[in-house]
Amino acid sequence: MPQEAPLRIGYVPEHFSTPLHFAPSLPCTLKSFPSGTGHMISSLVSNDIDIAIGLTEGWIAGLGRASSSNEHAGYKLVGTYVESPLCWAISTGAARSDIAQEPDPGEWPKGLKGKRMGVSRIGSGSYVMGYVLADMLGWLPSPPASANGEKDKEPFEVMPLQMFDQLRRGVNDRTADFFMWEHFTSKKYFDNGEIRKIGEIYTPWPSWHIVAKDEIVGDTRLEKFFTQLDLGVRYFEEHNDEAIKYISGELDYSEEDAREWLKTVQFAKEVKGVKRSVVDQTLEVLKKAGLVEKDVTADAMIGIKRKE
């Protein structure tokens, strides 16, 4: 009997990927995506990867856009990776005296309305979270704009800049005015003076989920992947010092930041399956932002459900 080909898994090479690297004998080959969830969606569609671990809002926005356009997304939500929310730092250029210099710390968000927001890709987590921020500040139109409708009422001018280094460069050369990226990944560049933190926002949902191509759902290799990743999470939690050594040595974070991050993160004890309530909650925000149509539901998005 011929040996089954290993699954190809996409991941973001940041501190959150550590349990993946601790997982023993994964039935897959790993493919790094520094530009994030939006790029992995494109790679799932083009059949370059089979499974991916990425940001909740990015996956659901992609599924919602496909449904709104009557297109086949090609992937489904199959697992929960991180239960805790993600802290997105909001950053501008180090010398940008025109952005968020208000003396009252509570006033800084007002200056971002109508500004150029740098994102990695349209539909990425950095894109979606801009609309979560706009929703919190009451800047979204009521009723919500159509996902395929007018763009003249957008709260920001969106500037797709692909990679994290290009986003940092963009806010310094004024291609963009601000951008959002995970706090601890950004912190090194606050500390060295390359960019300046002006605020932060948390996801209102568990931050990382796992998706798989439609034809992989139910595959025995996917089941083995879940089992081995659970072991990787368990090893990570029982060997914090080794995790810190890996994060600070292989992923370019300081030991101090790695230790602080460990205090904030909670990985799923069992990664298999997705809660319907999480998808519904995320869709509610995306609909309010006009990023998906009002009639889109979670029904076809979840490949493997888990108990609430």
How far is the C-alpha of 120 from the C-alpha of 163, rounded, in Å? 6
Low-confidence residues in the chain, pLDDT < 50: 1-2, 103, 149
- Between CA 299 and CA 247 the distance in angstroms is 37
Distance from the Cα of residue 281 to its chain's centroid: 16
Give the Cα separation of 204 and 57 in Å (integer): 10
Closest-CA residue to 185 (of 12, 8, 10): 12
Vertex 20, ends 228 and 215: CA angle to 5°? 65
B/e letters for 289-306, b = 16+ CB within 10 Å, e = fewer, are: bbbbbeebebeebbbbeb
Q: Please give the torsion angle defined by the CA atoms of residues 6, 12, 15 and 16, in that order, rounded to the nearest 10 degrees.
A: -70
Look up the pTM and report it.
0.88
Question: What is the spatial distance between Cα 209 and Cα 134, in angstroms, rounded to a whole number?
Answer: 24
Reading the block at residue 27, the tokens are 């039935």
The pLDDT of residue 2 is 47
Nearest Cα to Cα of residue 57 among 127, 151, 119: 127
**Assigned token pair, 185:** 């990944």
Looking at residue 54, its pLDDT comes to: 95
Residue 59 CA to residue 73 CA, distance in Å, equals 10
Determine the pLDDT at residue 1. 37
pLDDT for res 67: 87
